[in-house]
Chain A
Amino acid sequence: MLLELFVPANAPLAGDLVEECERRGSALWYWRQVLSAIAIAVATDVGAHRMLVVRAIAAGWTTLWLFSFVGAEINRFMSGWVLDRLILLFWTHPFPMLWATQLSTRPAMALGFVISGWAVGRLHRNNRPAMLVVFTLTVLAWSIYGDVMRLMTSSNIPASFRLVRLMFTPLPLLILVGGFWGTTLVNRRNGHESITV
């Protein structure tokens, strides 16, 4: 399924991997082949369409920026109405504090990632996997940098809260979910299961 998503034009490669994996019987060999095939396909596509890469990154970040206005409203709701209910519900439990400091902004962020991925995917239907991967990597790099800087500068955050923050570092991977939303179904409906040589 990963190969179908990331290397949609190469069904024979997926078949070759299935055939050879049965002969070798090694899951490690299979996953190495799958991940490297994805990396090679993405790198080849990126090398061949550099201007599209710039456009995909610009479109993705612009969508994230535009969504930040809606996100601010969602955050206000999460840290206001929802937090009030959580305090009433949990009272002395530390969860409302965790929600207020670490979790309340995550739903809006998650939604922003899904929507920006969807936008990049829709704008780059012919090169969707490569453009999504490149955009995701830029956001992931920004996310890791932001989290590392925040952890280094704020020493008063409890260790358990730091762990929660680290758990959410891969959240930008939701861009891929948004980007590939409905792709498999559409491809199957259009009969793109085999490639045209």
Chain B
Amino acid sequence: MILIAILRVGENAYGVPIARELEETGRRSVLLGAVYAALDRMEKHGLVSSRLGEPTAQRGGKAKRFFTVTSKGISAAKDTQRALTALWTGVPVLKGGTR
């Protein structure tokens, strides 16, 4: 989900817009600490890369950390999509949308 959220946010993908995207699409509150923990794990696995922006006074002098999905991340997202679609089909109760 986080990979897709980064792709949806685009150029400006740092913690806040990623969390907002997850909250809006998932319709539940998101813990920023959990988002960063997942992003750190993904970066270790080479699925995303990050760079630091400039610190701003509006953020208490802290820099933004911008994330980009790598080509490995994009293929991982496609694999997950394929697997989910395969799982989805053939479940009669889910045909025609969820209840």
Q: Which residue of A lies closest to B20 (CB)?
A: A20
CA distance A22 to B58 in the complex (A): 9
Q: Are the CB atoms of B65 and A40 closer together than 8 Å?
A: no
Segment 1-46 of A: residues with Cβ below 8 Å from B: 7, 10-20, 22, 32-33, 36-41, 44
Q: Are the CB atoms of B31 and A36 closer together than 8 Å?
A: yes
Q: Is A194 an interface residue (CB 8 A)?
A: yes
Q: Which residue of A lies closest to B53 (CB)?
A: A12
CA distance A41 to B35 in the complex (A): 11
Q: Is B93 an interface residue (CB 8 A)?
A: no
- Cβ of B64 to closest chain A Cβ, rounded Å: 6
Q: Are the CB atoms of A40 and B62 closer together than 8 Å?
A: no
CA distance A169 to B34 in the complex (A): 31
Q: Which residue of A lies closest to B34 (CB)?
A: A40
Q: Is A195 an interface residue (CB 8 A)?
A: yes
Q: Is B10 an interface residue (CB 8 A)?
A: no
Q: Are the CB atoms of A37 and B58 closer together than 8 Å?
A: no
Segment 35-61 of B: residues with Cβ below 8 Å from A: 36-37, 40, 43, 50-52, 55-56, 58-61
- B residues less than 8 Å from A11 (CB atoms): 62-63
Instruction: Please encode chain A, from 119 to 135, with 1 for each CB lying within 8 Å of some chain B CB and 0 for all others.
Output: 00000000000000000
Q: Are the CB atoms of A10 and B36 closer together than 8 Å?
A: yes
Segment 9-26 of B: residues with Cβ below 8 Å from A: 14-16, 19
For this complex, into which size category does the number of interface residues on chain A fall?
Answer: 20 to 34
Q: Are the CB atoms of A13 and B32 closer together than 8 Å?
A: yes
Q: Are the CB atoms of A13 and B55 closer together than 8 Å?
A: no
Q: Do A194 and B59 form a contact, CB below 8 Å, given A33-B33, A38-B33, A44-B37?
A: no
Dominant secondary structure of chain A at its interface with chain B: helix
Q: Are the CB atoms of A13 and B34 closer together than 8 Å?
A: no
CA distance A44 to B34 in the complex (A): 10
- A residues less than 8 Å from B64 (CB atoms): 12, 15-16
Q: Is A197 an interface residue (CB 8 A)?
A: yes
Q: Which residue of B lies closest to A32 (CB)?
A: B31
- A residues less than 8 Å from B52 (CB atoms): 12, 194-195, 197
Extra inter-chain contacts (12) besides given A20-B19, A33-B33, CB under 8 Å:
A7-B33, A15-B63, A15-B64, A16-B16, A16-B32, A18-B60, A20-B32, A40-B33, A40-B34, A41-B33, A41-B37, A197-B52
Please list the residues of chain B having a beta carbon within 8 angstroms of any beta carbon in chain A: 14-16, 19, 31-34, 36-37, 40, 43, 50-52, 55-56, 58-65
Q: Can you identify 17 A-B contacts, CB atoms within 8 angstroms?
A: A12-B65, A13-B36, A14-B62, A15-B62, A16-B16, A16-B19, A16-B62, A18-B59, A18-B62, A19-B58, A20-B19, A37-B31, A37-B36, A38-B33, A40-B34, A194-B63, A195-B65
